[in-house]
């Protein structure tokens, strides 16, 4: 199904029949992706005495409790409330859900023993393109990302200069296939989070960071229409399901 959409000054044709899901599923397993030193997520039936809320155990319904951390266990979208003293909810600050996005693939660089993404790499990938959102895929890009245990591994992160550049280009939505845009242990400086949300100036309340995406290799770099949907949690972050749609020229 092809839809024609007027977006700003452009008329776009979107192929709605081929959604490209770049979220990670959440599973009750030690093989679920994990970071930040927490236990694996749990999905368990409610129990009351001998009664177990699963059809296989004789109940008429399946009725599960789910315990997880949105930051640690899968694709999630966060707002500035992630790093501010005042509580800000992603559900109150993300009010639009369709954006023009650019998918870029970046090979992290080695810097002082770390793997990082630099301003120069982002500049080269984006050029003069004007986008609302940037989707960053890092390489190597294997399915191991869906089950990797990131705690104490010092994963790749964005340099502060890179997120400052994205802010200066007025990128409102940053999506990346890593557990964080910042270094795992940076003594709580959170340089890239702070730079992107401009905590030294006027806070970018409508800007979001989405972490733990997975962009399959079959998805080519380039321009897409992004549908960024979140679960309506009144929290700094919520599980999300970003979907890309091809733009037909």
CA atoms of 181 and 176, how far apart (whole Å): 8
What is the span of the domain harbouring residue 26?
18-39+70-248
- Summarize the confidence of residues 83-91 as an average pLDDT: 96
pLDDT in tens, 181-232: 999 999 999 999 999 999 999 999 999 999 999 999 999 999 999 999 999 9
What pLDDT is stored for residue 136 in this prediction?
98
**CATH number, domain with residue 114:** 3.50.30.50
Residue 186 counted as domain residue = yes
pLDDT in tens, 104-155: 999 999 999 999 999 999 999 999 999 999 999 999 999 999 999 999 999 9
- Tokens describing residue 66: 């789910």
Residue 50 counted as domain residue = no
What pLDDT is stored for residue 9 in this prediction?
85
Residue 137 counted as domain residue = yes
What pLDDT is stored for residue 5 in this prediction?
87
Residue 51 counted as domain residue = no
The alpha carbon dihedral of 107, 111, 116, 117 has a sign of: negative
Start-to-end CA span in the chain (Å): 15
Residue 64 counted as domain residue = no
Residue 242 counted as domain residue = yes
Q: Where does residue 61 rank: exposed (0-12), middle (13-18), buried (19+ CB within 10 A)? A: exposed
Give the residue from 203, 211, 216 showing the smallest Cα distance to 228.
211
Number of domains in the chain: 1
Helix (H/G/I), strand (E/B), else coil: 244: strand
User: Is the pLDDT assigned to residue 170 strictly greater than 90?
Assistant: yes
Residue 47 counted as domain residue = no
- Scored b (16 or more CB within 10 A) or e, 140-159 reads eeeeebeebebeeeebbbbb
Residue 3 counted as domain residue = no
- Tokens describing residue 219: 């998805």
User: Is the pLDDT assigned to residue 249 strictly greater than 80?
Assistant: no
CA atoms of 94 and 55, how far apart (whole Å): 37
């Amino acid at each position: 199904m092809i839809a024609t959409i007027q977006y700003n000054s452009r008329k776009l044709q979107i192929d709605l029949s081929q959604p490209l899901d770049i979220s990670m599923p959440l599973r009750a397993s030690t093989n679920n992706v994990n970071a930040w030193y927490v236990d694996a997520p749990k999905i368990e039936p409610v129990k009351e005495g001998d009664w177990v809320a699963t059809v296989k155990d004789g109940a008429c319904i399946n009725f599960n409790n789910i315990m997880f951390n949105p930051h640690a266990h899968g694709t999630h979208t966060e707002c500035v409330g992630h790093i501010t003293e005042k509580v800000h909810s992603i559900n109150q600050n993300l009010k639009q859900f369709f954006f023009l996005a650019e998918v870029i693939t970046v090979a992290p660089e080695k810097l002082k023993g770390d793997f990082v993404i630099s301003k120069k790499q982002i500049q080269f990938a984006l050029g003069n393109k004007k986008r609302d959102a940037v989707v960053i895929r890092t390489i190597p890009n294997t399915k191991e990302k869906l089950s990797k245990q990131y705690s104490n591994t010092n994963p790749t992160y964005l340099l502060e200069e890179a997120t400052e550049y994205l802010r200066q280009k007025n990128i409102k939505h940053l999506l990346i296939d890593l557990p964080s845009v910042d270094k795992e242990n940076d003594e709580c400086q959170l340089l890239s989070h702070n730079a992107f949300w401009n905590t030294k100036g006027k806070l970018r309340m409508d800007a979001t960071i989405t972490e733990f995406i997975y962009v399959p290799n079959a998805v080519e770099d380039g321009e897409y229409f992004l549908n960024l949907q979140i679960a309506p949690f009144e929290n700094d972050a919520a599980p999300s399901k970003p979907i890309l749609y091809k733009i037909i020229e």
